Structure 1
Amino acid sequence: MQTAPFLAALEAAVADLRATAQTDFAKLDVALLNQRPAPASWSILECLEHLNRYSRYYNAAFAKALGRPAAATSAEVAYTWLGRKSVDMMRPTNAKKSSTLKHLNPLGSRLGLEVLTEFDQHQARLLELLAQARHTDLNRKAMPVEFFRLLKLRLGEALEFVVVHQQRHLQQAQRVQAGLRVELAC
């Protein structure tokens, strides 16, 4: 896909994520937001806190990468083997469960409404970074992977990885919410 439509699709996805979190979760009581469907499963707030932990790293890394000069191109966004594999693993359509690293796993955390506020702030910042990305080469290797900094992704594939990862966990949070509705209706 060409750079401009690629970034436009990511921007639309992030705007949808932001709107979904605001409309679906902001109206819920903090007790419901912390309710888990099972002891080892994440609550809505734990799903969002997991994304916040990723965003703390990736938004800063994107800003750093975008701060380095690289002429924008209208070329196709290219993928390395690692980039394609990473993006495909995180797609919401991939039903295979992935385990997360301990420092990114919020299970058992005491969480409040500030998680929703932080999530919204990260999404607003990601939209700014996506707008900035229009002026750079998305095919350069610029992004160390959070869990193993020696591995690097191209800027475009890292942006897509973050967005599909967020879509995956927001859908997980929506499934948790749907389960809460069932319990509340009984």
Structure 2
Amino acid sequence: MKTQPFLQQLHNQVHELLAVLSTELEPRNGQALQFKPSATSWSVLECLEHLNRYSRFYNPALRKALAAGRKAGTDAEVGFSWLGRKSYETVRPENRKLQKTLKHMNPSQSALSWDVLVEFRQHQETLLELLRQAETTDLNRKAVPVEFFRVLKLRIGEALLFVVAHQQRHMQQAQRVLQQYTAQQETAPRLVV
């Protein structure tokens, strides 16, 4: 895919994430946001905190890569390495296979509050700015270290795709948790007096 349509697609997907945040998550109360379908599953807040932890690493890494990036035309083809394809395949939203997360990226049992949603929104706004900066950058330059093994580097385009797909995956997970919470609330016995 060419640079401009590739970045526009990612831009649209980030806006969709912000729309879900605004319409589905932010209107919910703390009980809904902290609900866990099982002891080993994540709550909505834990899903977003996991994404915040990744954003704390990838947003600055992308900013640095973009600042040092070579300029390229907007009609350049965005390429993918084996590492980039593999990284994307593991986190793409359609891949429902459970992935084990790194211990420091696992928010389970964390004390979380509404601040998680605020931080998530800030990271999305930063990502939108990074996508704008990427419009004139060579997206095929290997410049973004992989979080868990920083010697390996993703191409800038691969890293952007990875970040957005990972966020979509966990946003869908958060939406499923909310659906389970709503279903549980609808079937819970109610005391009528």
**TM-score, length of structure 1 as denominator length:** 0.98
Q: Where in structure 2 are there 5+ consecutive unaligned residues?
A: 188-193
Aligned runs of 1:8-157 on 2, under 5 Å? 8-73=8-73, 74-157=75-158
Tell me which amino acid in the other structure corresponds to 2:25: F
Post-superposition shift, 1:69? 3.8
Query: RMSD over aligned Cα, in angstroms?
Result: 0.7
Residue 180 in structure 1 maps to residue 174 in structure 2: no
SS of aligned partner of 1:92: coil
SS of aligned partner of 2:136: coil
Q: Where in structure 1 are there 5+ consecutive unaligned residues?
A: none
Q: State the Cα deviation string for residues 126-177 of structure 1 (Å, max 9, x = none).
A: 0000000001100000000011101110000010000000000000000000
Tell me which amino acid in the other structure corresponds to 2:58: Y
Mapped to 1, the partners of 2:29 and 2:104 lie a distance apart of 26
Post-superposition shift, 1:120? 0.3
Q: State the Cα deviation string for residues 65-110 of structure 1 (Å, max 9, x = none).
A: 1111401232110000010011111111111110000100000011
Post-superposition shift, 1:178? 0.2
**TM-score, length of structure 2 as denominator length:** 0.95
Mapped to 1, the partners of 2:183 and 2:31 lie a distance apart of 16
Mapped to 2, the partners of 1:5 and 1:109 lie a distance apart of 39
Find the structure with the greater CA-based Rg: 2
The 4+ residue runs of structure 1 with deviation greater than 6 A are none
- Determine if contact 2:66/2:137 at 8 Å carries over to the other structure: yes
Mapped to 1, the partners of 2:69 and 2:99 lie a distance apart of 35
Instruction: State the aligned residue count.
Output: 186
Post-superposition shift, 1:40? 0.6
Post-superposition shift, 1:30? 1.1
Q: State the Cα deviation string for residues 33-54 of structure 1 (Å, max 9, x = none).
A: 0110100100000000000000
Identity fraction in percent:
56
